[in-house]
Amino acid sequence: MSTPPPRLAQLRPRQVVSATRLMYAGLLLALVGVLVNAMSRDAITTSLEHANADRSPADRLTGDELQHAADLTYTAFIVLSAVAALVWLVMAVTNSRGQGWARIVATVLAVLNLLLTIGMATRGTTAGALAQAPTVLVGAAVVWLLWQPPSTTFFDRCAALRAARRTPRPTQAGL
Instruction: Quick: pLDDT tens for 112-142.
Output: 999 988 887 887 667 777 888 899 999 999 9
* φ, ψ of residue 173 in degrees (nearest 5): -65, -30
Q: Which residue type occupies 124?
A: G
* Whole-number pLDDT of residue 3: 58
* Whole-number pLDDT of residue 24: 97
* Whole-number pLDDT of residue 42: 86
Q: Which residues have C-beta within 8 Å of that of residue 95, sequence separation ≥ 6?
A: 16, 19, 20, 23, 102, 103, 106, 146
Per-domain residue ranges of the chain: 13-163
User: Could you tell me the mean pLDDT of each successive run of 10 residues in the chain, 175 residues long?
Assistant: 62 95 96 85 86 88 89 89 94 96 97 89 74 92 98 95 82 59
* Whole-number pLDDT of residue 6: 62
* Whole-number pLDDT of residue 132: 85
